[in-house]
Copies of this chain bind each other. A is one copy, B any other.
Amino acid sequence: MMAIQNTLSPRPGDDQPAPGQSRYGWLAASLRARITQGEWVPGTALPAEAALAREHGVALGTLRQALAVLVAEGLLERQHGRGTFVRAGLGGASMLRFFRFRHGGELTATPESSILERRTELAGPATSEALGLPTGASVLSLRRLRSVDGQPCLLEQITLPLPLFEPLASSDTTAWDSLLYPMFQRVCGTTIHRAEDQLSFGLLSAEQARLLRLEPGHPCVQVQRRAFDLSGRCVELRTTLGDAFAFQYTAHVR
């Protein structure tokens, strides 16, 4: 005998769970879509387990398994007794995980930021490939110097896809926040959810050295970042240079 589908069909339109997938996997995908499409904004709470389970016509355990997937992905955060929340994006000065700079005596929380240059330009083949843009698309190109106590410490080159970051193409750069990601969120509605940072080593060019107040040829660490939004799309390319002697990072193996 055929399995009964469910006498009261859940959420008209997303009835049938399993082609080749598990039910919780399909459920997770369904919830993921509702999150990335902004049905629940970062920081807000989802409906309770029981409500979601009823809505989708599954057992509590199955729903919990789906939520566990999204928690593991870093999309959700659960708090006992309070609820299930969509996680806010990257907040703090995440480049500081690679460098230690002194502010007076203590370690810095957030360096100051100053935009040296802002240009609209056409993306080269590598850039448009990385950002998933058509060839010849427009991007916003930024050069930025970050300082601690007026002392320059990090030099950055940032590339942003342009239809998306249009609001930043004309606003007053001297009024920008020192943290870009929360501003991306507020001004462009784009949440930076995760990033991949590729570290390598090099020597400063004359111009780079001048901006960082170091000697030409001074050793530096280069961080090449690709940052992704909630839906997994790459929405920022960034190259950061900092004094190699300020470099410090701890990696965990296995």
A: residues with CB less than 8 A from B are 74, 90, 94, 97-98, 193-201, 219, 221, 244-245, 247-254
Contact = CB atoms under 8 A, between A and B. Distances in A.
A254 B195 contact: yes
Nearest to A243: B201
Contacts of A219: 201, 219, 244
A251 B98 CA distance: 10
Given A219-B219, A219-B244, A244-B219, A199 B250 contact: yes
For the complex of A and B, 6 pairs with smallest distance between CB atoms: A201-B244, A195-B253, A194-B254, A197-B251, A199-B249, A201-B247
Determine how many copies of this chain the complex contains: 2
Most chain B C-beta atoms within 10 Å of own C-beta, residue among A195, A199, A244, A253: A253
A251 B249 contact: yes
Contacts of A193: 254
Q: Is the interface of A mostly helix, strand, loop or mixed?
A: strand
A251 B199 contact: yes
A94 B200 CA distance: 18
A156 B247 CA distance: 20
Contacts of A194: 252-254
Nearest to A100: B200
A250 B196 contact: yes
A155 B171 CA distance: 52
25 contacts: A74-B254, A90-B253, A90-B254, A97-B253, A98-B251, A194-B253, A194-B254, A195-B252, A196-B250, A196-B252, A196-B253, A197-B252, A198-B249, A198-B250, A199-B247, A199-B248, A199-B249, A199-B251, A200-B248, A201-B244, A201-B245, A219-B219, A219-B244, A244-B244, A249-B251
Nearest to A61: B61
A90 B254 CA distance: 8
A94 B254 CA distance: 10
A153 B152 CA distance: 34
Contacts of A74: 254
Nearest to A253: B195
Contacts of A247: 199-201
Most chain B C-beta atoms within 10 Å of own C-beta, residue among A219, A248, A251: A251
Contacts of A250: 196-199
Given A94-B253, A197-B250, 15 more contacts: A90-B254, A97-B251, A193-B254, A194-B254, A195-B252, A196-B250, A196-B253, A197-B252, A197-B253, A198-B249, A200-B247, A201-B221, A201-B244, A219-B219, A249-B251
